[in-house]
Amino acid sequence: MLGAFANAFRTPDLRRKLLFVLLIITIFRLGSQIPAPGVDVANVRACLDDQSNSGVYALINMFSGGALLQLTIFALGIMPYITASIILQLLVVVIPRLETLKKEGQAGQAKITQYTRYLTLGLAVLQATGIVALARSKMLLQPCNLDLLHDNDSTATFLMLVITMTAGTAVIMWFGELITDRGVGNGMSILIFCQVVATFPSSLWQVQLTQGWTTFGIVLVIGLIIIAGVIFIEQAQRRIPVQYARRMVGRKMFGGSSTYIPLKVNQAGIIPVIFASSLLYLPTMAASFSTNTKGNPVLEFINEYFIGGDHPIYMATFFALIVFFTYFYVSITFNPEEVSDNMKKYGGFIPGIRAGKPTQDYLSYVLSRITFPGALYLGLISLIPLIAFAVIGANQNFPFGGTSILIMVGVALDTVKQIESQLQQRNYEGFLS
């Protein structure tokens, strides 16, 4: 990995692209530290010092690089865009118009991207309104009772904060698209990577402060083992061989080639973890807003088993939801019938499997078998911070495990692959020698 970056900086074109990415990241991180107008910075910091963890806002706070609970101009981070992208991916399966746009190629994808932008801004307005309302009511950083805003009752301050945070989300979207167009790698993924990595050192050092150097060393060793395991699984794939028969089109001969369909063990990525986390945060957040839970069996059950995230019932529910959403997401993103029809249309077939319905059944069977270990892997990785919280008392932003490690490893591997691909386009010595 380090060799790829070193070689990239020796190439003038790639060096300019990497320096541009670093410039955008620097501006992005600076914006994540600038308080929004109307925020009482001293009181916010005092409240944050009293917080052992970020509670029900842990997921959103992680994707904002810690900017959410500091009420900065980039407080919402990349989370509205992630949510909008997931919603659009789900709607493509449900709404025929969106499915038609997806099949239209680059022009259709540009339309879907535009819809994603509009939905991102809409979600940003909703999230900003909710966060500012919580800050005004002193419920954002419980049990701290300090005023987080200079003027809690001012409508102008409320609107200014909502507009600022929404505009911050729009700027983040623009940064991501700039990186994709003029830099290296996927811009949104790199920004998510930066936000997650931003909280990594503090979370790791918190283990040393609370547990001592011995536990800190053990956590580092376990972390390296987890990273190696995640890299192994993320790279693992089942390659289904496909052959294309020769066919004559006009006076030209086409086909006769061999290729494969790569089915990854973790075909769903981190989406099932985000789905499951978001779904479990809803009842937890609802219970945290209720001042009196006595006499309400539902709220009492949530407070007893779900608040804190270290109860076995919570862990089992979280694991089951991840497994369910893994199968669900894979089923809507990979269509065996469509793949089978495309293969048949262009004269392709899987050796030993007849074209048409037998190919579709075979792809469904393989996909189901390979998704099972992928779902177990996602569930176990996501439980690591919860288990660490229960065993060593680490906070819920435990660095090695869960969504954070999946994002860091996945984005790093993808970015390095793209850098190596561009290096190979500019250097042919390895292929000619």
How would you label 314-323 residue by residue, b for 16+ Cβ within 10 Å and e otherwise? bbebbbebbb
Q: Tell me: pLDDT of 195 over 90.
A: no
- If DSSP codes are grouped into helix, strand and coil, which group holds residue 260? strand
Separation between Cα atoms, residue 309 and residue 304, nearest integer Å: 10
Contact between residue 367 and residue 263 where contact means Cβ atoms under 8 Å apart: yes
Q: Tell me: pLDDT of 430 over 50.
A: no
Separation between Cα atoms, residue 367 and residue 200, nearest integer Å: 34
Bigger pLDDT: 185 vs 247: 185
What are the residue boundaries of the structural domains of the chain, listed by start? Answer: 32-183, 200-433
pLDDT band at 79 (very low <50, low <70, confident <90, very high): confident
Amino acid present at 114: Q
CA 80, 326, 184: angle at the middle one, nearest 5? 50
Residues facing 263 on adjacent strands? 238
Q: What is the DSSP letter of 55?
A: G
372: Cβ contacts below 8 Å, ≥ 6 apart:
none
381-407 pLDDT, tens per residue? 888 777 766 666 555 555 666 677 888
280: Cβ contacts below 8 Å, ≥ 6 apart:
306, 314, 317, 318, 321
Contact between residue 73 and residue 62 where contact means Cβ atoms under 8 Å apart: no
DSSP string for residues in 107-156: HHHHHHHHHHHHHHHHHHHHHHHHHHHHHHTT-TTTT--S-SBS-TT-HH
Q: Tell me: pLDDT of 54 over 50.
A: no
115-129 pLDDT, tens per residue? 999 999 999 998 888
Contact between residue 240 and residue 263 where contact means Cβ atoms under 8 Å apart: yes
**Whole-model pTM?**
0.78
Determine the average pLDDT of the residues in 70-94. Answer: 83
Fold for 200-433, please state it: Preprotein translocase SecY subunit (1.10.3370)
- If DSSP codes are grouped into helix, strand and coil, which group holds residue 274? helix
Mean pLDDT for the chain overall: 79
Least trusted range by pLDDT, from 50-64, 136-150, 375-389 = 50-64
Q: Tell me: pLDDT of 219 over 50.
A: yes
HSE value, Cβ hemisphere, 13 Å, CA-based, for 298: 6
Q: Tell me: pLDDT of 433 over 50.
A: no
